[in-house]
Structure 1
Amino acid sequence: MGKGDKRSRRGKINRGTYGNRRPHHRRKGSGKEQ
Structure 2
Amino acid sequence: MKRGESREKKRDGRGEMRERERERERERERERESAEQRETRRDKREKIKEEKGEIK
TM-score (norm 1): 0.26
Ranked by relative contact order (alpha carbons within 8 Å, sequence separation 6 or more), the top structure is 1
